[in-house]
Amino acid sequence: MIPQEFEYSAPTSLEEALHLISDGSAKVLAGGLSLIPLMKLRLAAPGHVVDLGRVPGLSYIREEGGKLHIGAMTTHYQIESSALVHSRCPLLAETAAHIGDVQVRNAGTIGGSVAHADPAADYPAALLALDAQVRLVTASGERTLPIQDFLVDTLTTALEPGELVAEVIVDVDVDGATGFCYQKMAHAASGFAIVGAAVRVRRSNGRVSFSRVGITGLAPKAFRATGVESLLQTPDDVASAAGAVADGIEANSDLAASAEYRCQMARVYTARALRQALARIA
């Protein structure tokens, strides 16, 4: 329960932080909720840890050009409780509220969560449903990736050595015309998602005119269930559309839930999320 020896830096500017990690050998520390336990178990043993905690300008939520920009160091609690997120992107606020417990939400960050890419983390489901983008920066430049390209596999992202997640950019839902919902079956011990379904829907003329379904927990990485989206033509299609959520998926399995059970729970929770989202359309 004691990590191996490591060097610790607490840079006070983004430039300094990017410089410190530029050779790719250092590990970035955000909320520490995923990294520190791994280090204490000695499953991770970085020689150098660069703490982003004192870097200014990484924690913010602002609306710009019709999108919501959320700084990497913004905590789950800040997102859960932000009036701006509630009014512009309520799905993200609802998802944040499902993460762990109060202490976890006060320390954990959105940048840390997406960078860690836990296959059962909550945000990725919502971010897929929000057509999110992840902006990455290095000492020499930056690039922006759609979330589905950023998430590569279990605990694996497109982050290159020396690269930082700077912010997450999500679509804004104005006027309440978009129904949303995040539904999660939590693992009794860890609180992580056995499955989680994040959805957004719009209707027009009795038909479903737009839908996004992001699923976490079911597969090695969170994914957008495009099959469900295309089957969901009208509100009456919820059951049959949700029934397709696990099609072609090689589902995860562990002590808490077999692959078969997970698939079925994905169907149930997707249907529940879709129903509630449809009911929420103003």
Partner 1 sequence: MKVAGEYLLAAAPDRAYDLLQDPEVLARCMPGCDHLARTGPDEYEMRMKMVISSIQGLFAGKVSIADQDRPAGFRLVVEGNGKVGFMRGDGLLTLVPQPGGTEVRYEGEVRVGGMIAGVGQRLLDTTAKMIIKRFFSKLAAQVDGASSSGAGA
Partner 2 sequence: MSMATTVTKAETLVGRRLRRKEDPRLITGTATYVDDIQMPGMHYAAILRSPHAAARIRSLNVQPALDHPGVAAVFTGADVAGVGPVPCGASLPGLRVPAHSVLARDRVYFVGHPVAVVVATDRYVAADALDLIEVEYQPLPAVANPEKALEPGAPAVHPEWPDNLAFTYHQEGGEPDRAFAEADVVVRQRIISQRLIPTAMETRGVVADYRGAEKSLTIYSSTQIPHLMRSLVAQMLGLAENRLRVITPEVGGGFGSKLNVYAEEALMGFVAMKIGKPVKWIESRRENFQCTIHGRGHVDYYEIAARKDGAVLGLRLKLIQDLGAYHQLLTPAIPTLSVLMMPGLYKFRNVSADILGVFTNCVPTDAYRGAGRPEATHGVERMMDLLAAELRMDPAELRLLNFIGADEFPYATATGLSYDSGNYAEPLKKALDLVDYHRLREQQQQAKASGRLVGIGISTYGEICAFGPSPATPAGGWESATVKIEPSGAVTVMTGASPHGQGEETTFAQIAADELGVPIEDVIVVHGDTAIVQYGIGTFGSRGTAVGGPAVYYALQDLKAKILKFGELLLESSDVTFSGGVCTCNRTGKTVTLAQIAAASYRAMKLPPNTEPGLVATHFWEPPNFAFPFGAHIVVSEVDPETGQVEIKRYVAVDDCGKIINPLLVDGQVHGGVVQGLGQALFEQAVYDQDGQLVTGELMDYAVPKATMVPWIESDHTTTPSPVNPLGVKGVGEAGTIGCSPAVVNSVVDALGHLGVRHLDMPLTPEKLWKLIQAGGQA
Ligand X SMILES: Cc1cc2nc3c(=O)[nH]c(=O)nc-3n(C[C@H](O)[C@H](O)[C@H](O)COP(=O)(O)OP(=O)(O)OC[C@H]3O[C@@H](n4cnc5c(N)ncnc54)[C@H](O)[C@@H]3O)c2cc1C
| 3/270 Cα distance (integer angstroms) | 40
Select from 13, 25, 42, 153 the one that contacts partner 2 (CB under 8 A): 42
Subset of residues 32 to 51 that bind ligand X, contact rule: CB under 6 A: 32-35
Pick out residues in 14-33 that bind ligand X (CB under 6 A). Answer: 27-33
43 binds partner 2 per the rule CB under 8 A: no
Query: Which residue number, 6 or 210, has a Cβ lying nearer to partner 1?
Result: 6
How much is the CA Rg of the chain, to the nearest whole Å? 19
Cβ distance to partner 2 smaller for residue 17 or 199 = 199
Asked whether 122 and 95 are in contact (CB, 8 A), the reply is yes
Site for ligand X in 186-225 (CB under 6 A): 191-192
Q: Does 268 bind partner 2 (CB under 8 A)?
A: yes
Q: Six-digit token pair at 199?
A: 């959805």
Q: How many residues bind partner 2 (CB under 8 A)?
A: 20
Cα distance between residue 224 and residue 37, in whole Å = 29
Phi/psi of residue 105, nearest 5 degrees: -70, -25
- What minimum distance in Å lies between the beta carbon of 247 and partner 2? 19
Among residues 98 and 200, whose Cβ is nearest to partner 2? 98
d(CA 183, CA 122): 10
Give the tokens for residue 239: 């059951």
Q: Is 147 in the site for partner 2 (CB under 8 A)?
A: no
What is the rounded distance in angstroms from the CA atom of residue 55 to the CA atom of residue 49? 14
Binding interface with partner 2 (CB under 8 A): 1-2, 4-5, 41-42, 101, 185, 187-190, 255-258, 261, 264-265, 268
